[in-house]
Chains A and B, each alone.
Chain A
Amino acid sequence: MKQTLFNDKVALVTGSSRGLGNAIARKLALAGSDIAINYRKAGGSSQEQGEHLCEEIRGMGRRAILIQADISKKESVKKLFQEIVREFGRLDFLILNAARAPFKPIERLLERELRQLVETNYLGNIFCIQEALPLLEKTQGTVVFISSLGSRFYNPAYPLGSMKAAMESVIRDCAEGLIERNISVNAVCGGLVKTDSFKVLRQYWEEIQYIPDELFVEPDEIADVVLFLCDPASRGIRGQTIVVDRGLSNRLYRSVKRHEA
């Protein structure tokens, strides 16, 4: 087997049983890494899909483990990293992909929904960074946060956007704070992607059906940039959020799909 820069390295991708996380995990495995796949809800389709992904990665000749953890709970995050140490003894790449949010305008959020929003998408990610530090320090590893255009543009019923914006700022902070420890910290901001979450968007934002297909990003296109940020080739990039949206956010006007007659 060809030796690559990623061989013998270990990646944790939070929320990787499906969607973007799944594509990123797969891409890192193909590049040569062993993978810790994380999901939150035990006993459901996430667990099943996570198990499939594990099998697929093992089929590639890499090691893979599936770890259930709710990143909003610090204890759960601690156990997550303890298991990674037990299984792999190291961590090189921390990919913060897991997200969880209700789909409601901010002014309608109940208190418990607001707290859950912050606990998963802000606190949870920071818990992961903090717990990963001792491991990443040893490997001069990398943190990549997965953001979305909701961090900088309005989307209907998408309070998650405000958390993405907060995390992009956290990434800038940690990128500077962790220079001495040689840990690279950046983010990738995805555009419109047709994953399971898209099923939510299309119900809350009907206009999305009229955006031309070619403006939808493939999960692999985002995963490739994540891979790049884990590669020494990206060492000059620090604290940045790289937008991967096929130019969607560049455009003021965009053409609308014609209705079929």
Chain B
Amino acid sequence: MRQNFITEQKVFDEVKKAIVETLRVDENEIKPESSLIKDLGAESLDFLDINYRLEQKFGIKMARHFILEHVEEIFGEGSAIDENGQLTDKGVALLQMRFGDEHAEFTRGMDMDMLPTLITVHVLTKGVMDILESLPDTCPNCGNTAWKTEDGAKLTCGSCGEPAPFANGDDLIKQWLASVQEEKKIF
């Protein structure tokens, strides 16, 4: 369901806040196109910290695994990343579709360790937005359509008080992969 309660600006602001709290960088340094690793100095544990803050803020579950991990699990090891840990043609095609907007450079043979550098502030923001978009029309607990928010971040049912149930980030990635595979048959 297209939700109108939480704006992209609000999500962007919260993402910035989470980054400031975790990485202790200046808010002014954070742009949508900032790579968390390359520009802001994040490491893998920092990602988890940032994700955790966003999860607590919005009542959601961010993806625990990077998209290519999902690809390898679904389509087999070696499909996106070869035995030398480098990106395959199919991996490139997929990343192009997923991150084309980010103006990132990916080429065949690119080392997989470089891939987390693709995660920008915009990617995180979009990740949260995608999860929020999975808001069901009606509350699965009481059947009413009465979503509301008190703090502009967490959604609850105005009828029975239950927190809004969103799809989790990993499931959304799997769904996206399934639909892309159906359409483009990359793998």
Is the C-beta of A41 less than 8 angstroms from some C-beta in chain B? yes
Is the C-beta of A233 less than 8 angstroms from some C-beta in chain B? no
Q: In whole angstroms, how far apart are the Cα atoms of A112 and B42 in the complex?
A: 23
Of A108, A111, A200, A202, most buried by chain B (CB within 10 Å of CB) is A200
Q: Which of B43, B46, B51, B85 contacts A203 (CB 8 A)?
A: B51
Q: Which residues of A contact B45 (CB under 8 A)?
A: 196-197, 199-200
Q: With A199-B45, A199-B48 as known contacts, state yes or no: A204 contacts B37, CB within 8 Å.
A: no
Q: With A44-B43, A45-B42 as known contacts, state yes or no: A202 contacts B64, CB within 8 Å.
A: no
Q: In whole angstroms, how far apart are the Cα atoms of A110 and B78 in the complex?
A: 10
Interface string of B55-80 (1 = CB under 8 A from A): 10000000011000100110001000
A202 near B52: Cβ-Cβ < 8 Å = yes
A203 near B37: Cβ-Cβ < 8 Å = no
Is the C-beta of B140 less than 8 angstroms from some C-beta in chain A? no
Interface string of B14-31 (1 = CB under 8 A from A): 000000000100000000
Q: Which residues of B contact A204 (CB under 8 A)?
A: 64
Q: In which size bucket is the chain A interface? A: 10 to 19
Q: Which of A102-146 contact B (CB under 8 A)?
A: 103-104, 108, 110-112
Is the C-beta of B41 less than 8 angstroms from some C-beta in chain A? yes
The prevalent SS among residues of A at the interface is helix
Q: Which residues of B contact A200 (CB under 8 A)?
A: 45, 48
How far in angstroms is the closest Cβ of chain A from B87? 13
Is the C-beta of A75 less than 8 angstroms from some C-beta in chain B? no
Q: Which residues of B contact A155 (CB under 8 A)?
A: none
A-B contact pairs, 20 of them (CB 8 A): A41-B43, A43-B41, A44-B43, A45-B23, A45-B42, A45-B43, A104-B65, A110-B69, A110-B77, A111-B77, A112-B77, A196-B45, A196-B49, A199-B45, A199-B48, A199-B52, A202-B52, A203-B48, A203-B51, A204-B64
Given A41-B43, A45-B46, 4 extra CB contacts under 8 A: A44-B37, A45-B43, A200-B48, A203-B48
Binding site for A on B (CB under 8 A): 23, 37, 41-43, 45-46, 48-49, 51-52, 55, 64-65, 69, 72-73, 77, 81, 85
Closest CB pairs A-B (n = 7): A44-B43, A196-B45, A199-B48, A199-B49, A45-B43, A110-B77, A200-B48
Binding site for B on A (CB under 8 A): 41, 43-46, 48, 103-104, 108, 110-112, 196-197, 199-200, 202-204
